[in-house]
Structure 1
């Protein structure tokens, strides 16, 4: 059985407390107050309530840590090093439409490096977690990426641009290129869970643009500790700063990089 550190236990305790209220809200979603942050970009009372719970609990358990919050912004750390990177509800649009595919995502940064993270799917009661050098797990089961090496056998996940986001035509060309050589592409609407599913071998790879730090932080270390290769779409290491990401098993990484590179160069 996997042994969780005090840091992972602190994140799990906080996430599960927030998840209890979140599930009650999900069952009464038609009564929630909802506002827009931008075109097709929503924030609900469930987001705000979960974030408040997480900030209170995590702040109590590690008062020296700062926060990078989706809704609440940046809170300076007392130790100058550690930050909680929190997405209180990844998959808000799914949540508001009654689609049971969303998660709480919490990462820990030490300087610029993500050193631990959890992603809790409260509907399925699946807790994905990882710590640097320890491995990646789902509940108590060790995770490893898939071993598929032929693109024709692989399922990929992505995020499709919606209204208010540029480069629709560019993405459609890219999508067509991946569809032409793979077993299929999925768009589930929760980037944190997409990365967790790569770690679990459910997806063979995932790519997306225009993400925020809180969308990716926990997923990056969970995927990497399961054996995934994780980078920017051009192979760089500034995923959190630049907002684009590619995560795959080692067997198809070169093929995916080649597809993405050719589409970047095409007009």
Structure 2
């Protein structure tokens, strides 16, 4: 769903938007921040809010008629709008709050282009919905997933909506996992971009409808366009009827992880 009626393609809007958010995140790093409690141990900061406002400024200027759903500001425009942007201005807030640079800025047009920015490496991963690329120092390189990397990122953050049927942590106890993979837990959806880029073999998370999540939509779009295999933890398509997420560089890795998940949930 690429719209260039305003003189700029949707993919360029997504890139400009995440770049604006990443600039705020990078500029405020290491400075004092205000904490905004959300309950159940979750919180945001005024950096999250400022980054989201910077992103919204780009989208409003380029696509004033589009709806936006942001992690911090909620829904702006009709929730059932045909064109809706999903915005996660700072994925990895707890990491950021303690001085850890493992964070991501995510922007996705539902069922369309998307972009993920790493504020500290300067990399911007993006897709027009058909191909996936990374921009480094002004140069674009096609993303190439690979299962040769033994690293698998596993999301262990609560809540655990699939429990007691499945908790991602149980996957790590499967004897076959340690024989083939090495787990990583970065607690940010930047890991999805790393699967698309060949820095991870796979990513696993339990949960509900992650395709429509502001946290996951951009990373899922990126991985699909890069040619990764993307399903729920039950092997079903990701969506309202699906559960969680298994993204793998190739079909063999994906099948192996699904077999392990079935073994620990049977």
TM-score range, shorter chain: 0.7 to 0.9
- Which residue does the alignment assign to 1:91? 92
* CA positional deviation for 1:204: 0.5
C-alpha change, 1:77 and 1:147, in structure 2 (3 Å) is: same
SS in 1 for 2:233: coil
Which has the higher mean CA deviation after the structures are superposed, 13-22 or 116-125? Answer: 13-22
- Which residue does the alignment assign to 1:214? 214
Deviations 1:191-230 (A, max 9, x none): 2x11100001110000102375011111111111111001
Q: How many residues align?
A: 249
User: Contact 2:234–2:242 at 8 Å: present in 1 too?
Assistant: no
SS in 2 for 1:125: coil
- Which residue does the alignment assign to 1:23? 26
Structure with bigger helix share is 1
| Distance in 2 (alpha carbons) for counterparts of 1:240 and 1:117 | 20
Deviations 1:129-177 (A, max 9, x none): 01222x11111010011044xxxx6211111134x65749944322211
Map residues 195-234 of structure 1 onto 2, 5 A cutoff.
Answer: 195-210=192-207, 213-234=213-234
Map residues 175-254 of structure 1 onto 2, 5 A cutoff.
Answer: 175-177=172-174, 179-191=177-189, 193-210=190-207, 213-239=213-239, 244-250=244-250, 251-254=252-255
User: Contact 2:92–2:187 at 8 Å: present in 1 too?
Assistant: yes
Could you tell me which runs of 5 or more consecutive residues in structure 1 were left unpaired when the two chains were aligned: none
* CA positional deviation for 1:62: 0.7
Deviations 1:49-87 (A, max 9, x none): 111121122122111211121111122359931110100
CA root-mean-square deviation: 2.4
Q: TM-score, normalised by structure 2?
A: 0.85
* CA positional deviation for 1:121: 0.6
| Distance in 1 (alpha carbons) for counterparts of 2:42 and 2:241 | 20
SS in 1 for 2:87: strand
- Which residue does the alignment assign to 1:161? 157
Map residues 88-167 of structure 1 onto 2, 5 A cutoff.
Answer: 88-109=89-110, 114-133=111-130, 135-139=131-135, 140-148=140-148, 154-162=150-158, 165=160, 167=163
| Distance in 1 (alpha carbons) for counterparts of 2:146 and 2:22 | 29
| Distance in 1 (alpha carbons) for counterparts of 2:242 and 2:46 | 29
| Distance in 2 (alpha carbons) for counterparts of 1:21 and 1:201 | 27
Deviations 1:219-255 (A, max 9, x none): 1111111110011111222346756111002231111
* CA positional deviation for 1:180: 2.8
Which has the higher mean CA deviation after the structures are superposed, 72-81 or 209-218? Answer: 72-81
